[in-house]
Structure 1
Amino acid sequence: MGSTNKTGAAFTITDANSGVVGGKVSYKTSATGSVAANTTTGWEIEYPLAALGGASANDIFRVMAAYVADKGEFYSDVLPQIPGQSAALGANPDFSSIPGRQSYAYQVGTGVLASRSASEALQAAAYPNPVAANSRLTYTVPAATSVAVDVYNSLGQKVLNLLDAAQASGLIPWPWPHCASCRPVLTWLLCG
């Protein structure tokens, strides 16, 4: 993210010298949006594939996250973590001398959304959204089959399983269960 301000409100990167243009940050958990205050939830960063030079199915996108000081010195806090590393890595660490791969790999076109039918294809709708105790979920099952209805938050984390059973074809109305884990905006609904 370069020199962009990481403690302000959620933002979209527009300065070509400040990181990946078009990147977005979300999940601020304090009035200031401070990352330091975000100790219990994720901190989401989105990069448009076009800003990374474009990508097509099966391309590999590698990511490393690091906590870096004002003068560009790396602390010991990097993701993926380096086993046994407790000292700061310094201003110019030689990552090639560290055992293992120093990045996470994501293959474009894979993952939970690529392996199942998304809600749009199943004509799903939740109202009101963000979900509340009085929300209703409606979706269409095209043919009688075993159906799993899972709710994911915008981090891609499964927060709730609503159903895992055989269902007849047709329009299915579903009363939204009332529980603490049901409060996120319904971002994805996966069936199948």
Structure 2
Amino acid sequence: MSAVHASRGRLKPASEHLMSEVAIVCNLAHRLFTDSDGHPLPNTPKAAWLALRDDYSLIRKHIEAVLDGFENFEEKVQNPGGFVLPHRPRDAREFDTASGKAHFTANHLEYLRVPEGRLILQTLRSHDQYNTTIYGKDDRYRGIHGGRRVVLVNESDVSELGFEDGDMVHLVSEFRVPSDGRRISASFPIRRQRAAQPPTTRRPTSSYRWTR
């Protein structure tokens, strides 16, 4: 994750009105943080938002000014293959600790205890997805087509809870619920999944029950 290199889109934009993520953010900032004459509003972040939108080299200059390892950013990023950021433990075996040595810790393993009739919910990245950007409605890795609003459930759990593949369910959270005692995400179709490996002991972020 320490390699920095330039990238450039190769496809023709689908529309002349299609904006880059940088353009969207800068346009929003300009609307929110400046007046009708383009002057910064009081107590708001100050930057030449439209200039940053139109010239990415200005963004790189800001990055260069505040982050270590990005000195001469504009020049280095033009090199074929880019450049690698410095990393003291890797490059010089230096550690920013009182002893100057690496410190290791061991944590007690907490085994997951799931109440009867409940399941643990977690999110995941899937095919045709990069971070929060979704490029398509299909996930060919899991045989999902035409939409991503699904909940994947182990086939044994589906049978034990009395559901069928494709049933619509609501997800009801029982973890740190609000004052009214309910947090519901409605209408998810079940997709039966065959277990590829034993369940993990990862600490849950939420415990859910199922309702039709």
TM value normalised by structure 1: 0.25
TM-score scaled to structure 2, two decimals? 0.23
Identify, as 1 or 2, the structure richer in helix: 2
Higher strand proportion (structure 1 or 2): 1
Larger radius of gyration: 2
Which has the bigger relative contact order, CA under 8 A and spacing at least 6? Answer: 2
